[in-house]
């Protein structure tokens, strides 16, 4: 398949988005930017489009897709809405929040992997919104990476995975947030369960219900036999090819641990630690911004995981973020990317 790359640079952007929308309506696949990560989109009402998405990603078809809509009320023909959805939508949509709701028959089973629920998201990126509105159908879109690798946050990383597998890539530059949306499930008792942390934090969501829960899998591996609330939780995720280790402890202890390691390793570190790590002969330190600004690490994490694979390193080290606020999303992605290799020093 020939993949066309459309760079959105202000010139003829409307035409490029119209061509991409027509491609979606005709059953094709279009990669588009969102404020979180790039999405691999197809018509969410067309079962064949969902099958093409699973094939392009190499994704198991028991892992359902999020449907993207242009405005929160547009979910009505596809999902059973409720007052809590309306309140969350008023506060956080358009934006990086995905809500799991009871599905209506208009969404094919291939999109929901046969579940009785559907994931609904209204992105705020102007290109995503224009594409969905122009297509006139909801767009089913997982992150636009090959299954198991870090989500792409820029068009060149999309092209590395998706060239020849999709019809069109819309290049809208770097994604603002850099981590996938927060996913919450609305429970029949009026509660909310956090299935995947993101830029909308638990602290922001908890006031919306008396029963706010964080699924166990968010903070660690599933225990044997545990019921999976979100099928995506059971798959290996976000992993670079390079072995990744998370170092947990004070700066001095992390430095002395690394001093004893052999081989050339890349070390993600906070800006204020850069000078100290630069003194270690076998380490190449890479700044992830100030420790007080987790959004800087969020913005660059997946980008850096992919770029580290291109260097001639033997290992990659990163700090273990504190699991609160946006840090919870970082912690969740990083323990998975590192397959739970946490070194306490």
Tell me the closest approach of the beta carbon of residue 314 to ligand TXA, in angstroms: 29
Compute the C-alpha angle 169/171/174, nearest 5°.
Answer: 130
For residue 262, the minimal CB distance to ligand TXA (Å) is 36
Nearer to ligand TXA, 234 or 264 (CB): 234
Residue 36 or 209 with smaller CB distance to ligand TXA: 36
Q: Which residue is nearest to Mg ion (CB)?
A: 143
Name 237's Cβ contacts closer than 8 Å, sequence gap at least 6.
148, 333, 336, 337
Query: To the nearest whole angstrom, how small is the minimum distance from the Cβ of residue 284 to ligand TXA?
Result: 30
Q: For residues 191 and 210, is the Cβ–Cβ distance under 8 A?
A: yes
Burial of 47 (0-12, 13-18, 19+ CB in 10 A): middle
CB of 83 to ligand TXA, least distance (A): 20
209 binds, among Mg ion, ligand TXA, none (CB under 5 to 8 A by kind): none
In angstroms, the CA 193 to CA 215 distance is: 6
Of residues 175 and 265, the one with the C-beta less far from Mg ion? 175
Comparison of 141 and 194: residue with beta carbon closer to ligand TXA: 141
> Are the CB atoms for 258 and 245 separated by under 8 Å?
no
- Nearest residue (CB) to ligand TXA, 105 versus 281: 105
Measured from the CB atom, the residue of 115 and 251 that comes closer to ligand TXA is 115
Q: Which does 285 bind (CB under 5 to 8 A by kind): Mg ion, ligand TXA, none?
A: none
Min dist. Cβ of residue 35 to ligand TXA (A) = 8
Shortest reach from residue 257's CB to Mg ion, in Å:
32
User: Alpha-carbon distance 154 to 279, whole Å?
Assistant: 32
Chain residues that interact with ligand TXA, rule: CB under 6 A: 34, 36-37, 39, 63-66, 98, 100, 112, 115, 117-119, 121, 123, 141-143, 180-181, 183, 195, 230-232
d(CA 300, CA 171): 18
The strand order across the sheet containing 39-43 reads 4-7, 168-171, 30-32, 39-43, 139-140, 66-68, 117-121, 97-102, 182-186, 192-196, 212-214
Give 61 or 287: the residue with its C-beta nearer to ligand TXA.
61
Picked from ligand TXA, Mg ion, none, the partner binding residue 66 (CB below 5 to 8 A depending on kind) is ligand TXA
Q: Does residue 110 have a cis peptide bond before it, meaning omega lies within 30 degrees of 0?
A: no
CB of 56 to Mg ion, least distance (A): 13
> Is position 182 an interface residue for Mg ion (rule: CB under 5 A)?
no
Work out how close the CB of 228 gets to ligand TXA at its nearest, in angstroms, rounded to a whole number.
9
Rounded distance between C-alpha atoms, residue 278 and residue 266, angstroms: 11
Site for Mg ion in 138-157 (CB under 5 A): 143
Q: Which does 46 bind (CB under 5 to 8 A by kind): Mg ion, ligand TXA, none?
A: none
- Could you please report the per-residue DSSP string of 109-144? HHHHTT-SEEEEE----HHHHHHHHHHTS-EE--BS
Residues near 301 by Cβ (< 8 Å), separated by ≥ 6?
A: 150, 178, 179, 288, 330, 333, 334
Nearer to Mg ion, 161 or 273 (CB): 161
3-state secondary structure of 172: coil
Residues in contact with Mg ion by the rule CB under 5 A? 143
């Amino acid at each position: 398949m020939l993949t066309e790359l459309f760079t959105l640079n202000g010139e003829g952007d409307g035409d490029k988005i119209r061509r991409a929308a027509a491609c979606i309506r005709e059953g094709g696949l279009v990669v588009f930017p969102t404020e979180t990560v790039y999405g691999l989109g197809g018509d969410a009402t067309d079962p064949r489009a969902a099958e093409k998405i699973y094939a392009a990603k190499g994704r198991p078809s028991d892992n359902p897709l999020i449907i993207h809509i242009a405005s929160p009320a547009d979910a009505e023909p596809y999902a059973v809405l409720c007052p809590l959805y309306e309140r969350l939508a008023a506060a956080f949509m358009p934006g990086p929040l995905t809500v799991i709701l009871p599905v209506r028959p208009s969404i094919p089973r291939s999109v929901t992997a046969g579940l009785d629920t559907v994931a609904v998201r209204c992105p705020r990126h102007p290109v995503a919104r224009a594409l969905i509105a122009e297509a006139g159908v909801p767009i089913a879109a997982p992150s636009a990476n090959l299954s198991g690798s870090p989500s792409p946050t820029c068009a060149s990383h999309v092209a590395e995975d998706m060239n020849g597998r999709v019809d069109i890539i819309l290049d809208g530059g770097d994604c603002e947030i850099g981590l996938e949306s927060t996913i919450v499930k609305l429970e029949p008792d009026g509660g909310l369960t956090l299935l995947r942390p993101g830029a909308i934090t638990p602290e922001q969501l908890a006031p919306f219900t008396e029963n706010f829960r964080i699924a166990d899998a968010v903070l660690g591996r599933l225990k044997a036999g545990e019921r999976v609330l979100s099928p995506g939780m059971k798959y290996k995720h976000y992993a670079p090819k390079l072995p990744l280790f998370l170092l947990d402890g004070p700066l001095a202890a992390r430095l002395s641990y690394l001093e004893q390691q052999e081989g050339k390793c890349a070390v993600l570190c906070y800006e204020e630690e850069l000078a100290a790590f630069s003194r270690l002969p076998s380490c190449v330190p890479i700044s992830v911004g100030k420790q007080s600004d987790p959004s800087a690490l969020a913005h660059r994490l997946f980008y850096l995981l992919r770029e580290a694979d291109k260097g001639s390193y033997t290992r990659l080290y990163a700090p273990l973020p504190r699991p609160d606020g946006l840090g919870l999303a970082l912690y969740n992605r990083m323990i998975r990317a590192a397959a739970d290799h946490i070194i306490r020093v």
